[in-house]
Amino acid sequence: MDSIANGEVIDIPLLQLLIAYFFVLILILIVRKQGIDKEKQIILAATRMTIQLVLVGFLLEYIFEMPHPGITLLILIVMEGFAIQNIIARVSTELSFKMKKVTVISMAAGTVFTLFFFLLLVIGLTPWYYPRYFIPIAGMIIGNSMTGISLGVEYLVNQIKKDPQKIEAALMLGASLQQATKKVANQAFYNSILPTINSMVGMGIIFLPGMMTGQILSGVDPLLAIRYQIAIMMGILGSVTLTTFILVKLGVRTYFNERMQLTFNDD
Amino acid sequence: MYKLKDIAYKDILAIKELTLGHEKITSISGPSGGGKTTLLRLLINFISPDRGKIYLKDKALENYPPLELRQQVKMLGQNPIMFGNTIEEEFEMAAEFARQRGYAKKQYQNLLARVNLNKKLTASSTELSGGEKQRVALARLLLLQPEILLLDEPTASLDTENEKHILHYLADYALEEECRIIMVTHSPELTNSIADQQIIIAEGSLKEDYHGFDS
């Protein structure tokens, strides 16, 4: 009890960790009993999670011991790459090459700007590439931006394809490209930021955010933990805002050529 | 105003030579699917011909900056699309799109009366019938006083009485505002009474051009 009171972390011995897998067993039993026929998928998911996390654990341990700007940047690039690939795979319609390019540009520009703004000005991290801070914060910013941008792209692409008449009707009256696409662009933007806004509303009452919980569990004073949580939420909000704003602004342009003609709609 | 030289668009439309818009009102008729709407879309540069050139006032359409072209030429599509929640907002949105602000409510009301629509400006525009929407969309367009008006079956959802009324109003409007109207029509017998030039398009090509200019 003394060590807990002193803010030390309780170790989880391997045997006890194995006990946690009990819950996977319960799920498999239920699934089997109900004839849901998804045991393989569940076992695969649990195994993947275990292997991935073990690998990441060793990798982080290694990286944390010998911080190097090159390695930190390499990890950033890998994270961005996976996030972008995930966005493109998640959207229900096939994205045009131009739209993929816009996704890459907006993700990279929005997250990198926010990440460095956050690390250098809010946290005051020196050296800037210190991986113990850089990597988890980059992960949260990129992950949330990925979710936001996926929602934005999904709405934008489907809505323009579904209702090009409305855009053309505005162009017929002399509207600029921005005016004609304003409504759909605004809604796409709103859809993107909505999950972040909602999670801010519920935070602290409906749920304790993961990062704060993690910090508290590892002995950080709750008052410091909430400072980090507030700061990171602002960072996430900033990044989601920037990435999706760039996406929406550049994204609508991909549907028009230099003559302001809707390019996919030429019949 | 418009000159078409040896244009072709996919296998939908092919016209060797055509001059239109020199007269006040030009009507375009012909069986559906013949390429009439495609012609209007070419004229407002929503699509470009695969071959040939279209000139407006002796300048090729592709040489116009898009917004400059659509400042002079405006169009009303077959399906009237509402942008706002009330009729007043429809006028306001149209003025905003055209970057022509400063209209008075009185002008909106006058236009509604001219298209024979007895509705308040505060009435919902989304709950109107098809024919009413069509008249709001037309009134909203006429507010902007473009030089050239392209109308795609502007009276399609109207009863004969309203159709006659609108057509006569368009004839007056063209005269008063010195505007050229090029309209696709489904009822040439009515429209031709006000048209100065009549064009028939069928199966993607020009059939007759009664009063076409030699160019």
Task: Quote the pLDDT of residue B211.
Answer: 46
Same domain membership, residue A135 and residue A30 = no
Q: pLDDT band at B212, cuts 50/70/90?
A: very low
Alpha carbon B26 to chain centroid, angstroms: 10
Q: Which amino acid is at A17?
A: L
Query: Which of helix, strand or coil describes residue B48?
Result: coil
- Residue pair B109/B143 in contact (Cβ under 8 Å)? The answer is no
Residue A173 lies in a domain: yes
Residue A261 lies in a domain: no
Q: pLDDT band at A4, cuts 50/70/90?
A: low
- Residue pair B140/B167 in contact (Cβ under 8 Å)? The answer is no
Residue A40: pLDDT over 90: yes
Same domain membership, residue A61 and residue A5 = yes
Count structural domains, chain A.
2
Boundary-marking domain end, from A66, A95, A120: A66
Q: Do the Cβ atoms of A176 and B67 come within 8 Å?
A: yes
The C-alpha atoms of residue B146 and residue B99 are separated, in whole angstroms, by 12
Q: For the residues of A188-232, what is the DSSP string, one character each?
A: HHHHHHHHHHHHHHHBTTTB--HHHHHHHHTT--HHHHHHHHHHH
State pLDDT tens for residues B177-198.
Answer: 999 999 999 888 888 889 999 9
Boundary-marking domain end, from A17, A40, A66: A66
User: Which residues, numbered 89 to 128 in chain B, qualify as contacts with chain A under a Cβ-Cβ cut-off of 8 Å?
Assistant: 94, 96-99
**Whole-number average pLDDT of chain A:** 93
Same domain membership, residue A57 and residue A152 = no
Residue A260 lies in a domain: no
- Residue pair B214/B21 in contact (Cβ under 8 Å)? The answer is no
Pick among A165, A172, A253 to test the B interface (most B CBs inside 10 A):
A172
Boundary-marking domain end, from A34, A66, A98: A66
Q: Do the Cβ atoms of A166 and B94 come within 8 Å?
A: no
Same domain membership, residue A116 and residue A234 = yes
Same domain membership, residue A99 and residue A8 = no
Q: Which of B45, B67, B141 is facing A261, going by the closest CB pair?
A: B45
Which value does ipTM take for this structure? 0.93
Q: Do the Cβ atoms of A260 and B66 come within 8 Å?
A: yes
State pLDDT tens for residues B169-178.
Answer: 999 999 999 9
- In chain B, the domains with their CATH numbers are 2-80+144-209 (3.40.50.300)
- Secondary element (H or E) of residue A241: helix A222-253
Same domain membership, residue A74 and residue A42 = no
**Residue A234 touches partner B, C-beta closer than 8 Å:** no
Residue A163's closest chain B neighbor by CA?
A: B81
**Residue B76 touches partner A, C-beta closer than 8 Å:** yes
Task: Quote the pLDDT of residue A2.
Answer: 58
**Residue A47 touches partner B, C-beta closer than 8 Å:** no
**Residue A249 touches partner B, C-beta closer than 8 Å:** no
Q: Which of A168, A180, A259 is facing B77, going by the closest CB pair?
A: A168
Same domain membership, residue A43 and residue A98 = no
Q: Determine how many CB atoms are found less than 10 A away from the CB of residue B206.
A: 21
Residue B8: pLDDT over 80: yes
Residue A24 lies in a domain: yes
Same domain membership, residue A82 and residue A205 = yes
The C-alpha atoms of residue A245 and residue A190 are separated, in whole angstroms, by 10
What is the torsional sign of CA A55, A58, A62, A65?
positive
Residue A259 lies in a domain: no
Same domain membership, residue A149 and residue A89 = yes
Once rounded to an integer, what is the mean pLDDT over residues A110-124?
97
Q: pLDDT band at B209, cuts 50/70/90?
A: low
Residue A266: pLDDT over 60: no
Task: Quote the pLDDT of residue A77.
Answer: 97
Helix axes A69-90, A97-117, angle to 10 degrees: 140
Same domain membership, residue A238 and residue A119 = yes
Task: Quote the pLDDT of residue A264.
Answer: 73
Same domain membership, residue A10 and residue A73 = no
Residue A267: pLDDT over 50: no
User: Which among B133, B113, B109 has a CA at the least distance from the CA of B122?
Assistant: B109
Residue A89 lies in a domain: yes
What is the extent of the structural domain holding A33? 1-66
Residue B35's closest chain A neighbor by CA?
A: A267
Residue A262 lies in a domain: no
- Residue pair A137/A119 in contact (Cβ under 8 Å)? The answer is yes
Same domain membership, residue A226 and residue A133 = yes
